[in-house]
Chain A
């Protein structure tokens, strides 16, 4: 089954998310809406403790995650993907911006409490080993979350065993083991079970499969697909692997230096990127087809220093299409004609038309 067909299949078969009793606004309301989320890390202070210089890790981003979809986030290292995930979980305190979960603002008076939010939103970390307590058995690790939320010890353990079964690990064989006795893939399955133990609605997968080798990665991705159907989950899938993101995502968001460069439906975005950075990413993607080998030169240079950002568009020092406008004014994230596809580029139309012509798309070459 091609990944295209498989994705269509899973979309059709996905249970209606509205069947969840916690659902509030129905399908039309995004599960997660992020407005102007911002985090600057202060790296130097003067004698009075006033910030002297900051890293703009996440610099005002807006996006939404629709119910039942998988939103992929891609970008190079240091672009703020993981910081975004930690901000959403409130593992880091945002400096500004709003996180709205199913219509409820998170962490403000009258909104959703952090504790309640953490029941509905869970996260799987990249490092499968570091994210499990080495002194706890697998069963204890999974049962910890439910116990924190008042589930009895016995019941929490039963739930842990059920979940182990769900993620494809025999409970009687694995429940009493310690993390170091498991392989990377098995540990990541445990981490997924641990995240699911709180019955979340949104699962943030922060490079969750990046550290696994390819065959195991595929197994875990398939498992994630099955779990999504079974529990009606919504995924926020963070990765630097463009192929994997394309395989799993309904929509993709490209980040560059703490800003959203482009968002759109995954196929549309991969076929006709509307931001020069996305285009550069795509052309750097290795291909197995001889006819589609990289033609254009990859991006030159490093991203600018996130401490002293250029005044205009933050991509313009590396952008082959930069004009004076780009150096002066920072482009806003704006919708392209056709809807649903947003790009933060002054010359988005030109980028899009430039791309679709010279390089044959996947469908044509097959």
Chain B
């Protein structure tokens, strides 16, 4: 039996074992079919990435001049082969590792850095806030794609550089969200009450601000993962991210695009993967948002 907050607590009843906040969020999330399907698909893809060497029928690097551009369903190439005769299925399975990494890592980094900047700015307020947020706004003014390309281009192609530039791209929006949520929380009475009890700012942030602020920021950050996936693929597509012959979905899309008239369905497959993963992250974050958005 799942215990939820919907069941009103009658004052006469013996106290039920009160579920913690996150447990009740999870209980609500479990009853959201869309979020659950999205979550299961993501789980499958993550497992696929982890067990790639065992799942993939072939090595993602082994080429075969005799079997170039095979269509879907060819013997030995269930999802066809690319322009160098590599098995697309194996490359898709292995590609999940890199694609997920460069989709998720920048968002995690930006979540940590951006939240710290935003929470400090929001909590301190006043001129400090103005200075920090105006600097953030300068970065925010650039379109995300343009900034990512410009940074990755300036730093030089490569996986680490593209991770770095994507992190920089995502810090401003996360910091903005963190700042606005913190500004709201800061003026609520319980923060005043905590200050009235003599607590120092750091203690107040740790005990009273973080718990009420990280949730919304986290939800927002998960919605950025899909953007990050697409941007990362875009960078790889442009040759600024993963380098050939690494299996990475964006890069695969790029190298196979010449074959689009020969073998359109195989060419589209990496794009389908990117699409599926990013839409699943979006659905999951939507579900998470509504699961967390309860009037307590």
| Distance in angstroms between the alpha carbons of A197 and B198 in the assembled complex | 12
Interface membership of B108, Cβ < 8 A: no
Q: Are B198 and A119 interface neighbours, CB within 8 A?
A: yes
Mark interface residues in B180-222 (1 if CB within 8 Å of A CB, else 0): 0000000011101111111110010001100110000000000
Q: Are A131 and B199 interface neighbours, CB within 8 A?
A: no
| Distance in angstroms between the alpha carbons of A118 and B211 in the assembled complex | 24
Closest 7 CB pairs of A and B: A145-B197, A131-B189, A180-B296, A118-B198, A135-B211, A130-B189, A148-B199
Residues of B within 8 A of A (CB): 5, 9, 11, 14-15, 18, 21, 188-190, 192-200, 203, 207-208, 211-212, 295-296
| Distance in angstroms between the alpha carbons of A174 and B9 in the assembled complex | 11
Q: A183: nearest residue on chain B (CB-CB)?
A: B11
Of the candidates B18, B21, B203, B295, which one forms a contact with A135 in the assembled complex, judged by CB atoms under 8 Å apart? Answer: B21
Provide 5 A-B residue pairs closer than 8 Å at the C-beta atoms, listed in order of the A residue. A132-B190, A137-B18, A148-B197, A173-B14, A181-B18
Q: Are B198 and A115 interface neighbours, CB within 8 A?
A: yes
Q: How many residues of A contact B (CB 8 A)?
A: 38
Min CB gap B165→A, angstroms? 35
Q: Are B296 and A123 interface neighbours, CB within 8 A?
A: no
Q: Are A148 and B198 interface neighbours, CB within 8 A?
A: yes
Of the candidates B198, B203, B211, which one forms a contact with A133 in the assembled complex, judged by CB atoms under 8 Å apart? Answer: B211
| Distance in angstroms between the alpha carbons of A135 and B5 in the assembled complex | 14
| Distance in angstroms between the alpha carbons of A198 and B5 in the assembled complex | 32
Which residues in B have their C-beta under 8 angstroms from that of A278? none
Given contacts A176-B15, A176-B18, contact A131 B197 (CB under 8 A): no
Given contacts A134-B212, A181-B9, contact A173 B196 (CB under 8 A): no
Please indicate which of the listed interface residues B21, B189, B196, B212 has the most CB atoms of chain A within 10 Å of its own CB.
Answer: B196
Mark interface residues in A163-198 (1 if CB within 8 Å of B CB, else 0): 000000000111011111101000000010010011
Min CB gap B248→A, angstroms? 40
Which residues in A have their C-beta under 8 angstroms from that of B197? 118, 122, 144-145, 148-149, 194, 197-198
Which residues in B have their C-beta under 8 angstroms from that of A180? 5, 295-296
Interface membership of A17, Cβ < 8 A: no
Which residues in B have their C-beta under 8 angstroms from that of A149? 197-198
Interface membership of A114, Cβ < 8 A: yes
Which residues in B have their C-beta under 8 angstroms from that of A127? 189
* New contact pairs (14) apart from A130-B189, A133-B207, CB-CB < 8 Å: A91-B192, A114-B198, A118-B198, A123-B193, A125-B193, A130-B188, A132-B193, A133-B211, A135-B211, A145-B198, A173-B15, A177-B15, A180-B5, A180-B295
